[in-house]
Amino acid sequence: VLDIGFNLIEVLPVNAFHNNPAITLLAIDGNPLSTVPEEALSSLNGTLRGLSLGGRFLVCDCRLRWITEWIRTRDLQVTSRERKPQFCGTPVRLQERSFYNIDPE
């Protein structure tokens, strides 16, 4: 378990978890992340079972498209300690929509 939630992390480095491939639960909620790079989580493909992720800062654009499919195909348990956690931060027209339910096109 790695909990780095609510630490004012603005950018998740692409190699953030490469030396920790055995993480089963990752909490990154509560951080002002505008996106989550696919490369940052790719080393956790075999071990991750749960992800705590909030969306209130997320920019719902094509850079975030991968995460919905990634969560579904790995059957991850997704939670968050944020208020309105899975809603987009921007653009304004998507602020009241869950980033899980946005058409990737």
- DSSP H helices in the chain: 38-41, 65-73
Residue ranges covered by each domain of the chain: 2-94
pLDDT tens figures, 58-98:
888 888 888 888 888 888 898 888 876 667 888 888 887 77
Predicted pLDDT at 97: 78
pLDDT tens figures, 10-46:
999 999 999 887 999 999 999 999 999 999 998 898 8
**Under CATH, what is the fold of the domain 2-94?**
3.80.10
Rounded to two decimals, the pTM is: 0.86
Show Cβ contacts of residue 64 under 8 Å, excluding neighbours closer than 6 positions. Answer: 35, 36, 58, 99
